[in-house]
Structure 1
Amino acid sequence: METKQVNTLLRTHEKSGLLSQIFSLHLERDHAEPSIFPVLPRILHRDPVTDAVENLTLMYCPPDRRVTVPVRIKVVGEELSPGVKKGGYLNLIQRRVNCVGPASAIPKELELDVSSLDFGQRINMSGLNLPAEISIAGAATEHPICKLAGKASRD
């Protein structure tokens, strides 16, 4: 992949989104048909001063291979939350969750609906809607993902 392509993918998917998607890598060889391989980005190396992409490590990843991938959590329904309407704020404890499953079933992001949260309430890992083939890697289901905090939650 060229640097320009990687930068375009980063703008489109952000780093966490880029590292949780399978891409098709087209390899062209002299006097042979091009080969297409499914790959999963694993490590993104950047220059610490300029933030320019230096290297992207790819892993061969057939669709049925079980992988562990960090998946971004997308919060929805925050403006509908009774606690937010009363002046509270959402404290997102985890922004990503390590998901395990077949590479073809890993979602690009997980939606977390917080529209019913009031002061002091929280959502645990068990509150995530995961696809059937996907599980959370090594995490307790009662580990909190987010909590609605604010002055009224201390009363």
Structure 2
Amino acid sequence: MAEMKSLAATVRSGTGKGAARSVRREGRIPAVLYGGGEAPTPISLDKKVTTQLIFAGHFLTTIFELDIDGKKERAIPRDYQLDVVRDFPIHVDFLRLKPGSFLKVNVPVHFINQDQAPGIKKGGALNIVYHTVEMKVPADNIPEAVTADLAGMDFNDSLHISQIPLPEGCKPTNPDKNFTVASLNPPAGGGEEAAPAAAAAPAKGKK
């Protein structure tokens, strides 16, 4: 399940570009909390704390308990914007998480047991088709990642989504019910299997 973190926020007055610039001049980041059948709530966040959270990774799959002037709201970031020149956050969108609700998230795929894949040992290349998989997941059970086991894979083998254990209640949105997540390609020239044949061939000019 995705990690939950606490994050302090403050309700901000006013919306639009002018109000957002005013918030940034105060050293804070404008944000909005929406969804859950309630009206959007304009909020602001501490710039230093939010920047650290974003660049630490997994920000968009982390559940936050927002403390908005003493009121607690469970939410997940749906998007953030970075300054195009200086690459720091300038806005964040949060989605309210209500019990029993579902949402779509991109879940990272972690590959394990490369050392137990014969094709990789022989010099093959892993072709990753999906580094992340979009899934519809319960709001109270958002996975941090799914694990793809490469053990036993040889040249020209494929790993399909049906071979990857998925958390309960999580379903891929891909219309292909058994799409390929990764495949193992032989190296150019045939790899180790071609080596014995090459060694057995006589060199040019020799009898």
Residues of 2 paired with 1:5 and 1:131: CA distance? 30
1:78-93 equivalence runs, <5 A: 78-93=114-129
Does 2:87 align with 1:43?
no
Instruction: Write the letter of the residue equivalent to 1:22.
Output: I
Q: Paired residue for 1:3?
A: 47
Does 2:92 align with 1:56?
yes
Report if the CA contact (8 A) 1:99-1:106 is conserved.
Answer: no
Query: TM-score, with normalisation over the residues of structure 1?
Result: 0.86
Residues of 1 paired with 2:146 and 2:88: CA distance? 28
Instruction: Write the letter of the residue equivalent to 1:132.
Output: E
Say which structure, 1 or 2, has more relative contact order (CA 8 Å, 6+ apart).
1
Q: Tell me the C-alpha RMSD between the 2 structures.
A: 1.8
Q: Paired residue for 1:20?
A: 61
Cα gap change, 1:115 to 1:7, in 2 (>3 Å) = farther
Does 2:179 align with 1:143?
yes
Cα gap change, 1:139 to 1:5, in 2 (>3 Å) = farther
Q: 1:100 aligns with which of 116, 129, 136?
A: 136
Q: Paired residue for 1:129?
A: 165
Residue 115 of structure 1, CA deviation = 1.9
Q: Unmatched 5+ residue regions in structure 1?
A: 29-33
Residues of 1 paired with 2:99 and 2:61: CA distance? 13
Q: Unmatched 5+ residue regions in structure 2?
A: 1-44, 195-207
Identity %: 23
Does 2:161 align with 1:117?
no
Q: Deviations over 1:105-142 (max 9, x none)?
A: 12011111112211110111212211121111133122
Query: TM-score, with normalisation over the residues of structure 2?
Result: 0.65
Which has the larger Rg? 2
Q: Deviations over 1:49-92 (max 9, x none)?
A: 32211111111112421111111111111122111111112111
